């Protein structure tokens, strides 16, 4: 069964993040979309990055970018979803992480303290399609791009499909 995006419970917003990574150039891009309990987009962005060591580092960096963007939008109750099970597991673990991701995980956990509530959750790729689309768009850009209450045209149909599928009964 294909998992679809679901709305967060009010007053929370949902931050979906994903990363695209090119191993030949060590370039990555974070894709972020923030939506409210009605499924409305509060903001979206993609952020290209250079000198990223691995796809795992790219995914963890996407979490940091997502949390930072939600703070900039003034969100205080958040659920952050990623399709990187490794990253989400490390964020939720109470164990001191000794991997190469440690700086990213520590930064994200520290940033999470700035919210009234912050929960990390795994979703399969099929529940994270908008963030995936944004991450891929960022792979061909050299500049950070932000949209407030909108998404780029390439992601609009995905947002609309998510909203239809998550309509309350």
- The reported pLDDT for the residue numbered 100 is 79
Alpha-carbon distance 117 to 103, whole Å?
22
Q: What domains, with CATH codes, occur in the chain? A: 13-165 (3.30.420.10)
Helix (H) or strand (E) holding 131: helix 129-138
DSSP letter (8 states) at residue 20: E
pTM of the predicted structure, to 2 decimals = 0.95
Mention every residue, 6+ apart, whose C-beta is less than 8 A from residue 70.
13, 15, 34, 78, 80, 115
Look at the block and give the residue holding tokens 């520590």: 106
Give the other-Cβ count within 10 Å of 143's Cβ.
8
Q: Inform me whether the pLDDT recorded for 169 exceeds 80.
A: no
Per-residue pLDDT tens over the stretch 115-126: 999 999 999 999
DSSP E strands, 11-131: 13-22, 27-35, 41-49, 77-82, 117-122
Q: Inform me whether the pLDDT recorded for 111 exceeds 80.
A: yes
**Residue 148: closest CA among 75, 61, 81, 58:** 75
Per-residue pLDDT tens over the stretch 65-99: 999 999 999 999 999 999 999 999 999 987 777 77
- The reported pLDDT for the residue numbered 93 is 87
* Beta-sheet pairing, 77-82 with 117-122: parallel
């Amino acid at each position: 069964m294909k998992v679809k995006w679901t709305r967060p419970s009010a007053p929370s917003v949902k931050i979906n993040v994903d990363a695209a990574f090119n191993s030949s150039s060590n370039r990555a891009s974070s894709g972020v979309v923030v939506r409210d309990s009605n499924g409305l987009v509060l903001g979206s962005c993609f952020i290209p990055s250079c000198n990223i060591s691995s796809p795992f580092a790219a995914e963890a960096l996407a979490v940091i970018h997502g949390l930072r963007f939600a703070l900039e939008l003034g969100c205080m109750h958040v659920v952050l979803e990623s399709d990187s099970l490794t990253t989400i597991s490390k964020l939720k673990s109470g164990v001191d992480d000794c991997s190469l991701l440690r700086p990213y995980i520590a930064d994200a956990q520290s940033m999470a303290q700035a919210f009234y509530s912050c929960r990390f959750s795994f979703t399969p790729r099929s529940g994270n399609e908008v963030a995936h689309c944004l991450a891929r768009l960022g792979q061909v850009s050299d500049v950070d791009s932000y949209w407030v209450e909108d998404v780029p045209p390439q992601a609009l149909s995905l947002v609309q499909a998510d909203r239809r599928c998550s309509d309350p009964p």
